[in-house]
Amino acid sequence: MFGDQGGRNDLVRRHNLALVLRRVHVAPATRSELTRVSGLNRSTIGALVAELADRGLVVEDEAAGAGQVGRPSPLVRPSDAPIAVAVNPELDAVTVATVRLGGRVLAKERVPLDAPPTPEEAVTVAVAAARRLLARSGGARLVGAGVAVPGVVRRVDGLVRLAPHLGWRDVPIAAMVGEALGVQAGAANDAGLGAQAEWVFGAGRGVEDLVYVHGGASGVGGGIVSGGALVGGATGHAGELGHVGIRRGGRADTIGVRGTLESEVRRSALLEVLGLERADPDELESALIADRSRPVRDEVRRQIDALAVALASVINLLNPSRIVLGGFLSALTAATPGRLADVVATRALPLPDEPVDIRRAELGSDLLLIGAAELPFTRLFADPLPA
C-alpha cells in the first residue's frame, strides 16, 4: 500500500478511506459488513463513512435490516454525483459514455465514422459527445476520464505507443482528452480494461489471480490480475496474449509475427467458413452452434486447440485460479463445450485437485466503457479527499 515509502499516520486514513470506498464501489454494503471485512472498529467505520458522505462520495440508505435481530445497519452505497467519462475510439466509430461509481453506465453515445479517426478527430468527437452527455446529467461532478484504446498503451501517462488499426503511434491521447475536458484522464489497452471490468464487476469478481482473454475483430488481447492487482509490466503494456507463440511457421499476425495465438484464432476465419459477412456476438454464437458442417467443425476445433495451447502456457506461467473468455472467444468455446478444458488439461501441469476455472465473460457491450471509467475511479480511490 505504501510502496517502499515510509508510512505516516495520515496515510492510514487515506488507505482506510480508499478501502471503504472501493468496497462500496464493488457492491453496496452495510456498515456492519464494512466493519467485519476491514477488521476496523465500529466507531472508525462510522467516522470513515461520515467523511466520505460529507464529500459526496457515498450515501447511506436507512433501509437495510431484513429479518436480522438487533439494530439495523444502514446500507452504504456509492453516491450518484461522482461521474466519469469513458471513451472508446475504434475503426468505424467513437463511443462515449458517462459512468457512475459502481460501474453503472448512465448514458452512452456511439458516433459512427466513415474512416478511422485521427487522434485529433477522435478527441473532438469524443469531447463533443461527452459535453452532450454531461449536460443531461444534472448535479453530477466530473471526476475524470478514461480512454480504452485498441493498441499498446503506456499506462503511466496514457501514451498510445502503437495502435495499428487506427494508424496511431506515440499519441498522448490521455493528455489530449484530459486537457479538452479540463480533468485528469488516463488511457490503457482496451483488452486490459476489459480484464479490469470483468475482474471488478464480472466473471472474475473476488478472484485474486485471473487472466482475461478478449477476442476482438482485429485480434486477441487480454489482461492479467495477479495477487489482487492488475499486472502492468515495466511500461504498462503487459497482457498481450495475442502474441503468445504456439507454433512454428503459420500465418503472420497483426504485428507480423508468425505462429502466434492471434494468427490462428481469428474471428474473420470463423465468419468465412460460416459464409457470413458480419455478425454480432450472439449471432456468431448461434451460427456456430447451428452449423454442424465439416468445415465449420474443423475450423472451430483448430481454433480451440490453438487457444488451449496458449492458455496452457499462460496457466503454467501464472497459475491463475480463473480464466475469463470474452469477445468471440466466448462464442467459440460455447460451440464445442468441454473441448477447451480437455485440451488445456493435457498441456497444463498435472495437478488435478486445483483445476483452472475457465468461464465466459459476464459483462456485455458496456465492458470497455466500464473498464475505462475505472481509470479515473482508481485514481479517486487512491486519494478520496483531494483538497
Partner DNA sequence: GCAGATTGTTGTGGCGTACAACATAACCGG
Partner DNA sequence: CCGGTTATGTTGTACGCCACAACAATCTGC
Min CB(137)–DNA separation in Å: 30
Residue 234 interacting with a copy of itself (CB under 8 A): yes
- Nearest residue (CB) to DNA, 39 versus 227: 39
Contacts with a copy of itself, 274-313, as mask; x by CB under 8 A: -----------------------------------xx-xx
Min CB(356)–a copy of itself separation in Å: 8
Closest of 357, 344, 339 to residue 316, by C-alpha? 344
Q: Residues with Cβ < 8 Å from 202, sequence gap 6 or more?
A: 324, 361, 362, 363, 367
- Nearest residue (CB) to DNA, 11 versus 276: 11
Residue 26 interacting with a copy of itself (CB under 8 A): no
Residue 74 interacting with DNA (CB under 7 A): yes
- Nearest residue (CB) to a copy of itself, 145 versus 314: 314
Closest of 349, 339, 338, 257 to residue 312, by C-alpha? 349
Which range binds a copy of itself by CB under 8 A, 110-118, 177-185, 234-242, 295-303?
A: 234-242
Which range binds a copy of itself by CB under 8 A, 105-113, 121-129, 247-255, 268-276?
A: 247-255
Cβ 262 vs Cβ 218: under 8 Å: no
Residue 2 interacting with a copy of itself (CB under 8 A): yes
Residues 32 to 71 in contact with a copy of itself, rule: CB under 8 A: 37-40, 44
Contacts with a copy of itself, 347-386, as mask; x by CB under 8 A: xxxxx--x--------------------------------
**Cell for 77?**
452505497
Among a copy of itself, DNA, none, partner that 32 touches (CB below 5 to 8 angstroms by kind): DNA
Among a copy of itself, DNA, none, partner that 335 touches (CB below 5 to 8 angstroms by kind): none
Backbone angles phi, psi at 64, to 5 degrees: 165, -95
First to last CA, the chain: 21
C-alpha distances (whole Å) from 46 to each of 12, 51, 56, 108, 296 are 16, 9, 15, 36, 59
Residues 93 to 122 in contact with a copy of itself, rule: CB under 8 A: none
What does DSSP assign to residue 146? E
Q: Exposed, middle or buried by CB within 10 Å (0-12, 13-18, 19+), for 127?
A: buried
State the Cα–Cα distance between residues 198 and 322, nearest whole angstrom: 11
Min CB(208)–a copy of itself separation in Å: 7
State the Cα–Cα distance between residues 193 and 374, nearest whole angstrom: 8
Residues within the interface to DNA (CB under 7 A): 6-10, 12-13, 16, 30-32, 35, 39-48, 50, 65-74
